[in-house]
Amino acid sequence: MRVARILVIVFLLSLPLAFGFACDDDDDDDAPAAADDDDNNDDDDNDDSPAPLSFCAVDESEIDAILDRLTLRQKVAQMYYTAVNVFPWFDLPEAAYMVGDVQVGGIHEVVALTLGFWPSWTVQNTNKLQNIALNSDAGIPLFIGIDQEGGIPQMMTGLTGGTDTPGNMGLGATFSPDATRLAYDLMARELHETGINLSLAPVLGVMTDHEEASMYTRCFGENTEWVSQHAAAAVEATQRNLVVATPKHFPGQTAAPGDEHYVRAVSEHSEAEIREIYLPPFVAAIEAGADMIMPTHARYAAWEDEYPVTLSSRMLTELLRDELGFEGVIITDDLNMDAVAGIDWGELPDVLAIQAGADIIIDIFEDFEARDAGKAGDYPSTIAEQIDYVVGAVGDGRLTEARIDQSVRRILNLKMKYCLFENPFRTVEDVPERVHRPEDAELSLALHRQAITLLRDEDALLPLDVDDRVFVITTGPLVTQMYPEATWPQMTIKTLLGPMQDIDPDVTGMIYGGTPVGFVADMLVDAAAASGADLLVIGTYNAYFDEVQQDLVNRLLALGLPTVMVAQAMPYDLMVFPDVGTYVASYSNRGLALQVTAEVLYGLSEPGGRLPVALPGMYEIGWSAALD
């Protein structure tokens, strides 16, 4: 299994070399004024989504009976959520072992490991996993989950048979919670139809610092009140489709600079600031009925001198449960991250998290712990061994079986409420009629038209004319940084060049993958200089944080051609290229976002979005050159 994962990762990371250079790609707390702008809410009253599905009745006596028949080890196993390989073309024993023998309670759908590359394949995989679980000694259906945040960090995408959506930052640019409701309803319906019953979304960070490099387009924006409204809409829309929503990362990860995958992030904000700015979206999510919440691995100095939120009873039990009244399931983020796994806490983090109040332990890639040798202590690293360790902690009094029962009761309650005991299976035959339907794509296109934002057009270059000779230089379909400092590959179907060529076949250009250095950068600049173009279009991807990309763009700008710049992730790129006269923010580099961006460039669609974050010293939240 480990070898298979390594091969998949190596394959994905090597892909940029395959298209390093290619031509002609085919393929403040006051509400902003935008809230009342009719142009921004064209679809608000057109909710054509089907009626919500009904939750199932929860039978406490049946839960009592299940708890009575489960062994302690089976109970603890229900508290573990991991990933397995279910490739269909060869039979690996891992799924049968982890689900059937270890009897974990949840499985994470990982592209190329458990998520299929088309919907019917995904249904086959989820059905297989549920069948193994129900035929195990425990006989309890699985939580099957996915990171379905929308936009850039969206796992079921156009590439894997789903429908791309604008993502949180794009939805924030609509200033319409109804747009968020439509997008999350679409995503959750597609998850439900493929047997996925848990979405590790939405992210509820409030983007208060443009230098904080871990959440970015995963956030709705920087205005607490607006983020709270989007939070409630996302939770309601997800759970109406019998998919558990998981607001994250409590109490607001953007308050703690740094990426917990690699560093021990700490928030130095006062308790008053956390409560005023970062906590309200989670309060809104709880009031909207959120049944699961994920804490961050960051530490909040106002509450804790030692532990991150994941391991803190002050944060999980006293604040989240006792004060805020959250009665649902608390699920940790992956405990393999350096912020937890890279430190010796004097105890297995799993035990500390359960003591603090967590109900489900996420351990996606066992044996992939990011620990430096000897740093985290000598603790078990496989799921089976970790379960045995927790059972041992009950045996010697560090945990009680009553505490385990408390979490397992919450888990069983949720599985029963979301009808997993009644029927966790989906039919394969008519999946194409239920997932990524033409009307789904049309809805998402409409949402993207509400999101795309024109920040400036001082040179009056828009709309482009098909008689203009246009040369495009943009990132390719695979980027190795989903957001700044991350190392996860993120692949799309199209690049900006393709949709522009769909409108004007005479458009030429080049794309690049990986880091545009050396001869690759020289080739791109030379090609632009020799193109004879009247106008240059440059697609950037978080160039604000990428000095190599900045160097390339500055060399292109030095050619002196009239230039349109498109930020395909965060809009902060304009801050490092302040002299660019025409600037569009798409908030995403996925296919539908770039299709609408091309339409905007050629005047075929109006850019309906407004900035959901401020560009310090340039533009305030709510700004749009098209709407102001």
Q: φ, ψ for residue 345 (rounded to 5)? A: -90, 0
Neighbour-count burial for 179-195, b at 16+ CB within 10 Å, e otherwise: bbbbbbbbbbbbbbbbb
- Catalytic, out of 25, 333, 334, 338: 333
Q: How far is CA 527 from CA 239, 256, 511, 515, in A?
A: 50, 43, 11, 17
Q: Which position has the token pair 């660019």?
A: 580
What pairing do the DSSP bridges indicate for beta strands 453-457 and 248-250? Answer: unpaired
Phi (first) and psi of residue 470, to 5 degrees: -110, 135
Q: Which residues make Cβ contacts (< 8 Å) with residue 349, sequence separation at least 6?
A: 310, 311, 335, 340, 341
**Closest residue by Cα to residue 452 from 589, 615, 617, 618:** 589
C-alpha to C-alpha distance for 548 and 56, rounded to whole angstroms: 54
Query: How many angstroms separate the CA atoms of 150 and 130, rounded?
Result: 26
* CA dist., res. 613 & res. 328, Å (int): 31
Could you confirm whether 192 is annotated as catalytic?
Answer: no
Helices 438-451, 591-601: crossing angle, 10 deg rounding: 60
- Which one, of 584, 582, 612, lies nearest residue 599 by Cα? 584
Q: Which two tokens stand for residue 149?
A: 């945040």
User: In 137-158, which positions are buried (b, 16+ CB within 10 angstroms) versus exposed (e)?
Assistant: ebebbbbbbbbbbbbbbbbbbb
Residue type, 127: N
Q: How far apart are alpha carbons 431 and 438 in whole angstroms?
A: 13
Known catalytic membership, residue 333: yes
* 608: phi then psi, degrees, rounded to nearest 5: -95, 0
Tell me if 95 sits within 8 A of 132, measured CB to CB: yes
User: Is there a contact between 411 and 78 (Cβ–Cβ < 8 Å)?
Assistant: yes
Q: How far is CA 134 from CA 95, 142, 570, in A?
A: 13, 8, 44
d(CA 611, CA 587): 10
Measured in degrees and rounded to the nearest 5, phi and psi for residue 309 equal -55, -40
Which residue, chain included where needed, has tokens 């360790």? Answer: 389
Provide the residue count of the chain. 628
- Asked if 617 contacts 516 with a C-beta cutoff of 8 angstroms, the reply is no
Tokens linked to 574? 């304009």
**Tokens of residue 587, six digits:** 């908030």
d(CA 185, CA 240): 8
Q: What whole-number distance in Å separates Cα of residue 144 and Cα of residue 266?
A: 31
User: Which spans in 320-362 are helix H?
Assistant: 338-341, 349-356
The one catalytic residue among 261, 269, 436, 448: 261
Alpha-carbon distance of 155 to 128, in angstroms, equals 20
Closest CA to 230 of 36, 35, 436, 417: 35
Q: Which of 240, 324, 207, 302 is nearest to 570 (CA)?
A: 207
Question: Could you give the CA distance from residue 369 to residue 334 in angstroms, rounded to a whole number?
Answer: 10
Q: What positions carry a catalytic annotation? A: 261, 333
